């Protein structure tokens, strides 16, 4: 596995790091980079089984690049959205899109969330109205990572006429091809994750065929519930790498920065804070990799996935805050690396289910009274 980790680091150093600052400015990853990652086989590593342990390494190393927008865009494409196609797609859908996604010739996004619904998908407003050729989708999806440049959108829409309070009925998933005539993409000026291509997407009667239905009609929320634990594990692995990146920044700065004639690292309070973060990282890392092992065996449960996501993202946020604090005024500059990782780390505690939602899921899974 150490050879594979080095292979991933070398590939990311060549394909991602020289261009990531420019992607942060332009708001999305270049198409050539998607294809370069695909050519190295980094967009098609296993979603399940023993091969997922290699994916865990890739995801952690993506986090270690220090660019949460990049890591989010790639993870949404290669893992979160890809898992829907793998789990619920027909053989024809997997044949039609799978190889192009793995090679980076197509980019995919998840268009699930809406401005007013957030985590409460019972408030879904986007409609899929029956039409002669299949359906026409109308509504707004936001925020959508990869939304600015995606060729395909895995989109949640309401297809049934039942009560909105019935979360398990009346919603369906569709594979939507980007159509600039009936679809408007607007960049969202997020606090962080600037290279993730995050957009609001307005659908104005976008046409989809019957064979673009992904999974069972009117049962999308059952599919989403099945996929969410996996998404949270992916988020946890990315956050591990983000926390590691912060510690590496801190260590380098503490050794180089001289205060009153001595390196910052010579001060006991600094060393102890770094030791505390490093020790917690190893504990959380062990838990997250155990969650990855359970997923590879088909045994990941909601409590474990939610705990992994919560602990890893909150640790990364604390590490980012310490990184900013110990870099002083320079760290507080808008365009500094510590400022970027601080902004980015906050987003990870919200995406794929906010920290408060994770606590609620953990309580429900443990059958605590509510």
For residues 261 and 178, the model is more confident at 178
What's the half-sphere exposure (Cβ side, CA atoms, 13 Å) at 315?
31
Kindly report, residue by residue over 251-300, the tens digit of the pLDDT: 999 999 988 888 989 999 999 999 999 999 999 999 999 999 999 999 99
Radius of gyration (C-alpha) of the chain in whole angstroms? 21
Please give the average per-residue pLDDT across 110-125, as a whole number: 84
Contact between residue 174 and residue 215 where contact means Cβ atoms under 8 Å apart: no
Would you say residue 122 has pLDDT above 90? Answer: no
Percent of the chain whose predicted confidence (pLDDT) is above 90: 88
Please give the average per-residue pLDDT across 295-323, as a whole number: 98
Bridge partners of 208, per DSSP, are 135
Distance, in Å, from the CA atom of 82 to the CA atom of 72, rounded to the nearest integer, reads: 13
pLDDT at 144 (0 to 100): 98
Residue 67: which residues within 8 A CB-CB, separation 6 or more? 16, 20, 23, 24, 195, 340, 344
DSSP codes of every residue in 235-279: HHHHHHHHHHHHHHHHHHHHHH-EETTEEGGGSHHHHHHHHHHHH
Contact between residue 228 and residue 56 where contact means Cβ atoms under 8 Å apart: no
Residue 269: which residues within 8 A CB-CB, separation 6 or more? none
pLDDT at 118 (0 to 100): 67
Kindly report, residue by residue over 186-195, the tens digit of the pLDDT: 999 999 999 9
SS3 label, residue 147: coil
Taking phi first (over 0 means left), then psi (-120 to 50 degrees means alpha), and beta for anything else, what does residue 134 get? left
User: What are phi and psi for residue 53, nearest 5 degrees?
Assistant: -65, -30
Would you say residue 370 has pLDDT above 80? Answer: no
Residue 163's pLDDT band (cuts 50, 70, 90): low
Cα dihedral angle (185, 313, 157, 154), rounded to 10 degrees?
Answer: 60
Instruction: Please give the DSSP secondary-structure letter assigned to residue 336.
Output: S
Kindly report, residue by residue over 326-353, the tens digit of the pLDDT: 999 999 999 999 999 999 999 999 999 9
Residue 249: which residues within 8 A CB-CB, separation 6 or more? 66, 323, 337, 338, 341
Crossing angle of helices 302-326 and 220-256, in 10° steps, is 30
> End-to-end CA distance of the chain, in Å?
43
Nearest to 21 by CA among 344, 351, 237, 340: 340
Distance, in Å, from the CA atom of 322 to the CA atom of 306, rounded to the nearest integer, reads: 24
pLDDT at 368 (0 to 100): 75
Residue spans of beta strands (DSSP E) within 102-198:
108-111, 127-131, 134-144, 152-158, 171-177, 183-187
Distance, in Å, from the CA atom of 344 to the CA atom of 262, rounded to the nearest integer, reads: 31
Residue 165's pLDDT band (cuts 50, 70, 90): very low
Would you say residue 34 has pLDDT above 60? Answer: yes
Quick one: tokens of 199? 């957009």
Identify whether 143 is preceded by a cis peptide bond (ω within 30 of 0).
yes
Taking phi first (over 0 means left), then psi (-120 to 50 degrees means alpha), and beta for anything else, what does residue 175 get? beta
Q: What is the pTM of this model?
A: 0.95
Cβ atoms < 10 Å from Cβ of 133: 10
pLDDT at 180 (0 to 100): 86
Lowest mean pLDDT of 92-96, 135-139, 160-164, name the range.
Answer: 160-164
For tokens 């969410």, the residue is: 228
pLDDT at 262 (0 to 100): 86
What's the half-sphere exposure (Cβ side, CA atoms, 13 Å) at 189?
0
Quick one: tokens of 241? 């790498």
pLDDT at 260 (0 to 100): 84
Percent of the chain whose predicted confidence (pLDDT) is above 70: 96
Residue 178's pLDDT band (cuts 50, 70, 90): very high
DSSP codes of every residue in 33-56: HHHHHHHTTTT---SSSTTHHHHH
Please give the average per-residue pLDDT across 47-65, as a whole number: 97
Would you say residue 303 has pLDDT above 60? Answer: yes
SS3 label, residue 217: coil
């Amino acid at each position: 596995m150490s050879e594979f980790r080095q292979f991933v680091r070398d590939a990311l150093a060549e394909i991602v790091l020289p261009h990531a600052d420019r992607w942060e400015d332009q708001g999305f990853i270049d198409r050539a980079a998607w294809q370069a990652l695909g050519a190295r086989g980094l967009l098609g590593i296993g979603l399940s089984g023993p091969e997922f342990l290699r994916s865990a390494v890739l995801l952690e190393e993506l986090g270690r690049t220090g660019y949460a927008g990049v890591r989010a865009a790639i993870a949404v494409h290669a893992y979160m959205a890809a898992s829907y196609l793998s789990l619920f797609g027909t053989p024809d859908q997997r044949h039609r899109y799978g190889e192009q996604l793995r090679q980076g010739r197509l980019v995919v996004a998840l268009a699930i969330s809406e401005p007013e619904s957030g985590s409460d998908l019972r408030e879904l407003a986007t409609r899929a109205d029956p039409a002669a050729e299949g359906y026409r989708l109308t509504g707004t999806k936001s925020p959508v990572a990869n939304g600015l440049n995606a060729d395909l959108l895995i989109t949640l829409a309401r297809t049934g006429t039942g009560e909105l309070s019935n979360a398990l009925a009346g919603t369906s998933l569709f594979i939507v091809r980007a159509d600039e005539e009936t679809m408007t993409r607007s960049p969202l000026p997020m606090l962080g994750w600037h290279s993730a291509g995050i957009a609001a997407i307005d659908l104005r009667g976008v046409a989809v065929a019957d064979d673009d239905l992904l999974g069972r009609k009117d049962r999308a929320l059952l599919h989403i519930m099945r996929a969410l634990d996996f998404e949270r594990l992916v988020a946890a692995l990315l956050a591990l790498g983000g926390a590691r990146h912060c510690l590496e920044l801190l260590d380098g700065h503490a050794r180089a920065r001289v205060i009153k004639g001595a390196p910052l690292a010579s001060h006991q309070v600094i060393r102890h804070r770094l030791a505390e973060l490093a020790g917690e990282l190893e504990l959380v890392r062990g838990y997250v990799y155990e969650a990855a092992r359970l997923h590879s065996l088909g045994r990941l449960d909601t409590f474990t996935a939610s705990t992994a996501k919560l602990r890893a993202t909150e640790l990364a946020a604390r590490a980012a805050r310490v990184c900013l604090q110990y870099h002083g005024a320079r760290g507080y500059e808008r365009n500094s690396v510590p400022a970027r990782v601080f902004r980015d780390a906050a987003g990870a505690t919200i995406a794929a289910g906010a920290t408060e939602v994770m606590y609620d899921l953990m309580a429900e899974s443990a059958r605590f009274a509510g």
